[in-house]
Amino acid sequence: MARSKSDISNSAIRIFLQNVGKFYDEERGFEPFGPKIAQKDELLDYFENQCCFCGEIINRKSLSQDHLIPMNKSTLGLHAWGNVVPCCQPCNNEKQQKPWRGFLEVKAGVNFQSRERKILDFVLSKNYDPSLNLHEFADNLYEDVGQVAMTLINLRYKQAQDGIKKLLK
């Protein structure tokens, strides 16, 4: 439930990143990333049924999917192949919007380098470009959606005021 202008804009950014991710998948020749069983299995296979951060054994049921680059206004990660990695539920809950390398350092300990290598190889194997720059589009969308939403809210608010005044006469 949106509570403010920024909530509405942030929801729009998320939808935008999902749609761009689908397009980016198709352009790279992949079936768009969805919650499909075969896709989960591919993630599990690649990471040898381990949480990519802490190494905990995971399966189809306990698998949680993390966006390596978070899907938000400042980092603009996509819901797409190469940005979704398998992890355990506790790691997913804990990582949230944190940068993945720092989080991995804490979780992997002595295995940091090998797990970092594994993640980077995965990103590369999917040809995902972490520096893909969508800031101009996303920033404009954020502003536009916020303004349009506030204009519409104010319009309907005035109508509601008129309606209530009439009722109370």
Binding site for Zn ion (CB under 5 A): 51, 53-54, 56, 88, 91
Q: How far is the CB of 76 from Zn ion (least distance, A)?
A: 24
CB of 115 to Zn ion, least distance (A): 10
CB of 56 to Zn ion, least distance (A): 5
Distance CA 132, CA 53 (A): 24
Nearer to Zn ion, 20 or 51 (CB): 51
20 versus 54: smaller Cβ distance to Zn ion: 54
Between 91 and 119, CB nearer to Zn ion: 91
